[in-house]
Structure 1
Amino acid sequence: MTHPALAPDSVAVITGGASGIGLAAATRLAGLGLRVCIADLGEDRLAQAAEAVAAAAPGGRSSVLAVPTDVSQAEAVERLEATVRERFGGTDVLMNNAGVQPGSALPGTAEAWARIIGVNLWGVIHGTRIFMPGMVARGRPGLIINTGSKQGITTPPGDPAYNVAKAGVKALTEALQHTLRNTPDCRVNAHLLIPGFVFTPLTANGRTEKPAGAWTPEQTVEFMLERLDAGDFYILCPDNDVPRALDERRILWAAGDIVENRPPLSRWHPDYAEAFRAFVERGGDG
């Protein structure tokens, strides 16, 4: 089965659509017959991506739109929504996927924090706020898929600005789904995509070959589509190194820091290393 929003002639808008997971999603949805708009920065990158998406689309280039968009700016996202509405009549599937991960530290610089929060969190806020009313008003099956991160749940040390942004995306998407399910006659649902290790330009770090532990963007999108069909809100993706069972233990341990009154990020605290190892090994037994 295929989710009813992913029907031929539905309209999908994907930010960060010129590469990685966004491009894989755009190509896959175009192949299902959706009309697709990719939004990103870099006109040359966008043009190349649009041709790749068009090659998969039954309708060819006429069913693909590419719009340069800085998602950190509300006005740019408003122009994106209006452009899609004028060209295709509205939006049925919104994938707030644009992201940057240049690295961050504390205290870091205000500029670095502003860029990471601006794209990774405000980009999702802008997309959600600006597209949602029109999507609900269409009265059609719809999807808002926000790309989060496991780092927004377990918040490992090393990149605090990214963690803060992705934790915000999780909270926003949960609130969004609560709002949608309590909106009369609403046929739009929200979902949180939580990728594993995916080999993309964002994670390549100079590598040209995919590490054995990573999934491809295409694998991630296929898993996303399977879990959308199953109705999952939290689309928690494994990869070639980390199965779901290990993710579950890591997430439970992180929540346990509060419940057990442990130090924050105790998973990385030397006094708790043995306790964490034993907790993972116990698996579903405790």
Structure 2
Amino acid sequence: MTYHPAIVPGTVAVVTGGASGIGLAAARRFGAAGMSVVIADLPGEALQAAQETLSADGHQVFAQPTDVSSRADIEALKRAAEAIGPISIVMSNAGREGGGGLFAGEAVWRKTLETNLWGAIHCAQVFVPDMIAGDAPGAMICTGSKQGITLPPGDTAYNVSKAALKALTESLSHDLVQQTGGRVSAHLLIPGFTFTGLTRAKGVSEKPDAAWSAEQVVDHMMERLAEGDFYILCPDNEVDTATDRKRMLWAAGDVAENRPALSRWHPDCAEAFKAYMAEGD
């Protein structure tokens, strides 16, 4: 298999949110590619179990208890990874759902933004400067969300955090092109419906037929990384890529066409959206 130039045996991949779900699947794939892997997650049994499982599979994996909302923790994570070898991949994957609409409590908003957005800001500011200053390929991958693009009503704090993460990763990519000519790259992973720990937290114990597994998401991510894609848009077993693209183009059209905000869900635009989605069927 062809890999992104930064996925090289003997180098180190750092994966936040690495104790479960997409992060754990990514750690396994980086390890299978011959990299040493540092999985970072909140301290506890899940992190230790993930490290033991991956090590039992023959991968060189280290566990680092980390709260990504703490810059000091991210700095400690970097020191731990540097002690193992040269860092070439940073995957800012740790995330949480907000759990409420606009008027959710301040604690919900702060925790969501501190994890989903500030976690990535900390990773970028702590890890990326040394990648820029070096001479080897490198990459930072941020796990975003389709909700950060189409902004479906409901979990407003989560949507805001992922929309801001999209803007952050886009800006990072531009800066890296300017400063390294693409030697160091940034990528936005945009999963579809995925069966992860967040799904289980909602009381779903078995993978729904509509969902992809975390392993399928990471397989797709590795393929698109090798092709140099910035936007790694993942389908699932219910929504294909063509449907996702049409929905996203409609969302962008709210501004260009001066439609009501979130017009896809606005009663005045319901029939227009339905007709738009039916075009070409």
TM-score by length of 1: 0.94
Q: Aligned in 2, Cα 1:140/1:283: closer, same or farther, shift over 3 Å?
A: farther
How far, CA to CA, are the matches of 1:255 and 1:237 in structure 2?
19
How far, CA to CA, are the matches of 2:187 and 2:219 in structure 1?
15
Could you tell me whether the CA contact under 8 Å between 1:245 and 1:283 is conserved in 2?
no
Structural mapping, 1:177-188, within 5 Å: 177-184=173-180, 187-188=183-184
Q: Aligned in 2, Cα 1:283/1:80: closer, same or farther, shift over 3 Å?
A: farther
Q: Does 1:107 align with 2:103?
A: yes
Task: Please state whether the residue corresponding to 1:89 is helix, strand or coil.
Answer: coil
Structure 1 residue 186: Cα displacement: 6.0
Sequence identity percentage: 54
Q: Aligned in 2, Cα 1:8/1:89: closer, same or farther, shift over 3 Å?
A: closer
How far, CA to CA, are the matches of 1:180 and 1:263 in structure 2?
35
Structure 1 residue 70: Cα displacement: 0.3
Query: Unmatched 5+ residue regions in structure 2?
Result: none
How far, CA to CA, are the matches of 2:41 and 2:14 in structure 1?
11
Report what 1:124 is aligned to. 120
How far, CA to CA, are the matches of 2:38 and 2:210 in structure 1?
31
Could you tell me whether the CA contact under 8 Å between 1:28 and 1:56 is conserved in 2?
no
Report what 1:160 is aligned to. 156
How many residues are matched? 279
Amino acid at match of 1:194: I
Query: Unmatched 5+ residue regions in structure 1?
Result: none
Of the three residues 56, 65, 73, the one matched with 2:70 is: 73
How far, CA to CA, are the matches of 1:199 and 1:173 in structure 2?
24
Report what 1:34 is aligned to. 35
Amino acid at match of 1:74: R
User: Structure 1 stretches (4+) deviating beyond 3 angstroms?
Assistant: none
Could you tell me whether the CA contact under 8 Å between 1:91 and 1:134 is conserved in 2?
no
Could you tell me whether the CA contact under 8 Å between 1:69 and 1:77 is conserved in 2?
yes
Could you tell me whether the CA contact under 8 Å between 2:98 and 2:156 is conserved in 1?
no
Q: Aligned in 2, Cα 1:120/1:282: closer, same or farther, shift over 3 Å?
A: same
Report what 1:53 is aligned to. 54
How far, CA to CA, are the matches of 1:137 and 1:8 in structure 2?
21
Deviations 1:90-147 (A, max 9, x none): 3100000000115122211110000000100000110111000122223111110000
Backbone CA RMSD of aligned residues: 1.3
Amino acid at match of 2:230: F
Structural mapping, 1:183-194, within 5 Å: 183-184=179-180, 187-194=183-190
How far, CA to CA, are the matches of 1:144 and 1:55 in structure 2?
27
Structure 1 residue 200: Cα displacement: 0.3
TM-score by length of 2: 0.96
Report what 1:240 is aligned to. 237
How far, CA to CA, are the matches of 1:166 and 1:19 in structure 2?
20
